[in-house]
């Protein structure tokens, strides 16, 4: 079946603009994750959604970052007033459940964000 | 808190040589351990996963890893490197009460002819 998809694949924006990144998880997966991959920082967890539970936002680096998941499926990560340090690859992953075992997370290809 | 240490940001091998990528973890509870591979401009692909069923885990593309609790290690090996193995490899740890994965900083594998 189809894997995790993300759009856009690349995004160039100017400092101070807002951006929205989209993630379509694998159909039927109840858990969805956002990670950020920066040069020199490795992969950092940002936010985790599980079903209808309140999301775990503990990894969001500032209040300029927010995410939502509509209808338990598609998720949008929004970065407001972008800064140059926000330049990174934003990876989305989904798994079949995350409420009692550690299921494999399947990753999308990522959105490469460049803030000028 | 959980953490992962990958020794060596770059590892170079010749085609046909043994591949050994090192991963050590820290976890206060029984861990789940993962190895992912990332090819250029692509997302992460799961190579293998340890969930306590067996200490030696076989994955895709001829890779395997052995969980050694006494050494808190989960090193990735492949008997004979192929040019197509050149990529970045990430070790990650999670557990049942900690769904988000904690990743190591990655090891870039270079394979020369």
Q: What average pLDDT does the structure give for chain B? A: 91
Please state the rounded mean pLDDT for residues A67-71. Answer: 90
Q: How far apart are CA A75 and CA A61, in angstroms?
A: 18
User: How many CB atoms lie under 10 A from the CB of residue A63?
Assistant: 7
Q: At B41, is the pLDDT very low, low, confident or very high (cuts 50, 70, 90)?
A: confident
Put simply, the chain A residues between 9 and 38 with a CB less than 8 A from any chain B CB are 31, 33, 35
Q: How far apart are CA A52 and CA A34, in angstroms?
A: 17
Please state the rounded mean pLDDT for residues B49-55. Answer: 84
Q: Is A3 helix (H, G, I), strand (E, B) or coil?
A: coil
Q: Let me know: does B74 contact B67? Beta carbons within 8 Å.
A: yes
Beta bridge partners of A7: A22
Q: How far apart are CA A64 and CA B45, in angstroms?
A: 30
Q: With 90 as the cut, is the pLDDT of residue A42 above it?
A: no
pLDDT of residue A66: 96
Q: Which residues of B touch A45 (CB under 8 A)?
A: 100-102
- What are the tens digits of pLDDT across the range B84-96? 999 999 999 987 6
Q: How far apart are CA B13 and CA B78, in angstroms?
A: 11
Q: At A30, is the pLDDT very low, low, confident or very high (cuts 50, 70, 90)?
A: confident
Nearest CA in chain B to A105: B46
Q: Is B61 helix (H, G, I), strand (E, B) or coil?
A: helix
Q: How far apart are CA A84 and CA A73, in angstroms?
A: 30
CA B13 to chain centre: 16
Nearest CA in chain B to A40: B105
Q: Which residues of B touch A50 (CB under 8 A)?
A: 99
Q: Do A48 and B99 touch (CB under 8 A)?
A: yes
The phi and psi torsions of A109 (rounded to 5 degrees) equal -75, -15
- What are the tens digits of pLDDT across the range B67-81? 999 999 999 999 999
Q: With 70 as the cut, is the pLDDT of residue B16 above it?
A: yes
Q: How far apart are CA B109 and CA A49, in angstroms?
A: 33
Distance between start and end Cα atoms, chain B: 41
């Amino acid at each position: 079946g189809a894997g995790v998809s993300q759009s856009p694949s690349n995004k160039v924006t100017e400092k101070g603009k807002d951006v929205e990144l989209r993630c379509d998880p694998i159909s039927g997966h109840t858990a969805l994750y956002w990670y950020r991959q920066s040069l020199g920082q490795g992969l950092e967890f940002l936010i985790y959604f599980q079903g209808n539970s309140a999301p775990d936002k503990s990894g969001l680096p500032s209040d300029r970052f927010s995410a939502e998941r509509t209808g338990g499926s598609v998720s949008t990560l929004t970065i407001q007033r972008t800064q140059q340090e926000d330049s990174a690859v934003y990876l989305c992953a989904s798994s079949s459940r995350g409420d009692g075992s550690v299921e494999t997370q399947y990753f999308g290809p990522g959105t490469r964000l460049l803030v000028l | 808190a959980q953490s992962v240490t990958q020794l060596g940001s770059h590892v170079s091998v010749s085609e046909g040589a043994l591949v050994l990528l090192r991963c050590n973890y820290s976890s206060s509870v029984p861990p789940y351990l993962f190895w992912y591979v990332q090819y250029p401009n692509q997302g992460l692909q799961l190579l293998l996963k340890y969930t306590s069923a067996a200490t030696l885990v076989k994955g895709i593309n001829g890779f395997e890893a052995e969980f050694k609790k006494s050494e808190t290690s989960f090193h990735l090996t492949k008997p004979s490197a192929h040019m197509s193995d050149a990529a970045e490899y990430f070790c990650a740890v999670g557990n049942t009460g900690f769904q988000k994965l904690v990743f190591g900083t990655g090891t870039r594998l270079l394979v020369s002819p």
